[in-house]
Structure 1
């Protein structure tokens, strides 16, 4: 219900004080939704803690998901899993890139993203690496690396090309580490 408010002007030279009825009519539209929302939150909190509910845990149906019965992470070598990556390549990539800050990882997708890293010897440049593990088998073509390099010019960072052998050198170290991990595990995939 809309009410038309009367225009209220204080007398000249007096401080502005609204009459109580005007204050109540101005607060009522904002107070009612606030009270209703806080009441809903209070009732919602009760159901979160099991208060005010007759449901028991046995009446709930379990979710129907295949992911609950399978570990789809970097388990390496299990033919029954459709996703995931080679566990040796995954562990070797994480071990080799551990000197850089890791920004994000996805074991199922086989992606490792590092944050920018500035080598202690070169303060005017920084590097970032993205590693993709593409296969469940331990193969050299199952690993792809992208190396990004920036050089400081004034107050900003400018993209430049890394040395041509940087990505291949890091990939060689990752593959060597993965082969060593597999050998230490009895050459089991």
Structure 2
């Protein structure tokens, strides 16, 4: 009986000590917003700045609700519309796996050219912002060859991705010129 009372007494003291210890932590001033990697990425490194949203700076406008006229290349998507359309045009011969106009990501599925059935290619394209500029698009190319009964990854030269980026930029410039000519 005495051992049981000692256990209860010890447990009570430990619990009271833990409560006092934790309550003393409540006087420490803490930061209300914990910085995360997502916060840094969404605000360009400033976790306390205004965050970009997928709806744009002024929110989502339905039925043409705004008085502000969009500049060339701006639309209801989160990236430059000329780069977006040019990228879709450039990879249109390949099956699309995913296309996110707000994030500016276009992922293709594996494509096998009928002229070389032992090789297949996949492209990931990233549109980096709302401006039409040379570093506004990034392309990653993946290639596989069949070896035996399995597909194996094969290195792809950086030149291949650069050529795709150049063709996307050329097409985007053509689309912009056409757009500006039609506005006048």
Q: TM-score scaled by structure 2?
A: 0.58
Q: Would you say the 8 A contact 1:76–1:84 is kept in 2?
A: no
State the alpha-carbon separation in 2 of the partners of residues 132 and 164 from structure 1: 16
Report how far residue 102 of structure 1 moved: 0.8
State the alpha-carbon separation in 2 of the partners of residues 119 and 165 from structure 1: 20
Give the corresponding residue for 2:60. Answer: 67
Report how far residue 120 of structure 1 moved: 1.8
Equivalent in 74, 81, 89 of residue 77 of structure 1:
74
Give the corresponding residue for 1:102. Answer: 96
State the alpha-carbon separation in 2 of the partners of residues 119 and 70 from structure 1: 43
State the alpha-carbon separation in 1 of the partners of residues 86 and 149 from structure 2: 36
1:165 aligns to what SS in structure 2?
helix
Give the corresponding residue for 1:61. Answer: none
State the alpha-carbon separation in 2 of the partners of residues 175 and 68 from structure 1: 29
Report how far residue 68 of structure 1 moved: 5.8
2:151 aligns to what SS in structure 1?
strand
State the alpha-carbon separation in 2 of the partners of residues 168 and 121 from structure 1: 23
Higher radius of gyration, 1 or 2: 1
Equivalent in 172, 180, 187 of residue 174 of structure 2:
180
Equivalent in 134, 147, 164 of residue 158 of structure 2:
164
State the alpha-carbon separation in 1 of the partners of residues 63 and 157 from structure 2: 42
Structure 1 gap ranges (5+) = 1-65
| Alignment coverage as a number of residue pairs | 117
State the alpha-carbon separation in 1 of the partners of residues 104 and 73 from structure 2: 11
State the alpha-carbon separation in 2 of the partners of residues 76 and 105 from structure 1: 18
Give the corresponding residue for 1:91. Answer: 85
Report how far residue 133 of structure 1 moved: 0.2
In angstroms, what is the RMSD of aligned CA positions? Answer: 2.2
